[in-house]
Amino acid sequence: NAYPQRIMRLVSGSGTASFTASSTSPILTLNQTGSGLIAVLKDAGNTVFEIAKGGALTLTSTSSPQLTVAYDSSNYFNLDVTSVGSSTLASTGALNLTGNGASVWQTVSSPLTIKTNTTGDLLLSSADNFTEKFATSSAYSLYQGETARLAINTAGNITLVASSTIGLTGNTTITGNAT
């Protein structure tokens, strides 16, 4: 390096520390050549932020939100994690998730709910085929409001609510017994 290397040892104490630089070089470089953590930041002795070997970041906080990413004071999103592991990602604007590969939203042993909270449509759109798939031991129900309109039981039988009708247009073929 063109600039001189200096070794500095900081000793525990009270007060504040500040660094000022007017340079194109970094104001602070941390280089972990051993197997330990790269950095640990503590608040009253409790670890609140750490950088592990390889660069993995851990943010630990009981304050809410634990993470805010902001463009300005009006445009931001917050990430909260509760003591039981529930996570909430809240955005002040549109929230778009884009993946350039196969992507999965998954819950284990719990329902997954996607909803609009007060108004607005829920739109599922596909450039190719659209497939709804559920376990063979599961039933399928389609509701309008609180009223069930269509059901498919575990045997694959389709049921319509008594007040529903089926309208068929064009060439229609029904095989088997129709009553």
Taking the whole predicted model, whether its pTM rises above 0.75 is answered as no
Those residues with Cβ within 8 angstroms of residue 137's Cβ, 6 or more apart along the chain or in another chain: 154
pLDDT at 1 over 50: no
- For residue range 37-96, list pLDDT tens digits in order: 999 999 988 999 999 988 898 888 888 888 999 999 999 999 998 888 888 999 999 888
Task: Find how far residue 119's CA is from the centre of its chain.
Answer: 22
Q: How distant is the alpha carbon of residue 24 from its chain centre?
A: 36
Q: Does residue 32 contact residue 53 with C-beta atoms inside 8 Å? A: yes
User: What is the tens place of the pLDDT at every residue in 150-177?
Assistant: 888 888 888 887 677 788 888 888 888 8
Report cis status (omega within 30 of 0) of the bond before 111: no
Residue 11 scores a pLDDT above 80: no
Q: Give the Cα separation of 49 and 43 in Å (integer).
A: 9
Alpha helices in 35-160, H assignment, sequence order: none
